[in-house]
Amino acid sequence: MKRIKIDRNRCIGCLTCTTACIVSHNCADNRSRITMSSSGRYAPIFCRHCDKPECVYTCMTGAMSKNQETGIVGYDKSRCASCFMCIMACPYGVLKADSENSKEIMKCDMCQHTESGRPQCVERCPMSAITLEEV
């Protein structure tokens, strides 16, 4: 299973990762699926696609699910009840309500929809601070 990792010593806080995410997902409201840490200096915080994801366990409709093959925690907006239990349950604070459609959740989907199938934050980081690693 692969996860996005960041080397905070290499990150310069340029926000290229957030721009790449916005462009990749065609977000009209310029909202990224990446959460930024504001403690000290800006640095991205990514969905960990946890082994035992609390967001999945608290989701009463099955809108949040973990693909056992890829390890990716996915979101199916058609099944979402907009209760936001997943947002409250996430220990990393990376899930958020979509401001354009307040009944939907924004979360990292590892850019599976792109031609490369690789996260665009990884592809576009000018400092190579963001990597995709096998865990």
| Domain covering 49-107 assigned CATH 3.30.70.20 in the classification | yes
What span, in angstroms and rounded, lies between the C-alpha atoms of 89 and 54? Answer: 6
Nearest to 107 by CA among 118, 117, 93: 93
Q: What is the pLDDT of residues 67-104, one digit of tens each?
A: 999 999 999 999 999 999 999 999 998 998 877 667 88
Least-confidence region, from 54-58, 79-83, 92-96, 126-130 = 92-96
What span, in angstroms and rounded, lies between the C-alpha atoms of 108 and 119? Answer: 9
Q: What is the pLDDT of residues 11-45, one digit of tens each?
A: 998 999 999 999 998 877 777 888 877 666 677 88
| Domain covering 1-46+108-135 assigned CATH 3.30.70.20 in the classification | yes
Return residue ranges of the chain for CATH 3.30.70.20: 1-46+108-135, 49-107
The residues with which 134 forms a beta bridge, in sequence order, are 2
Identify the three-state secondary structure at position 130.
strand
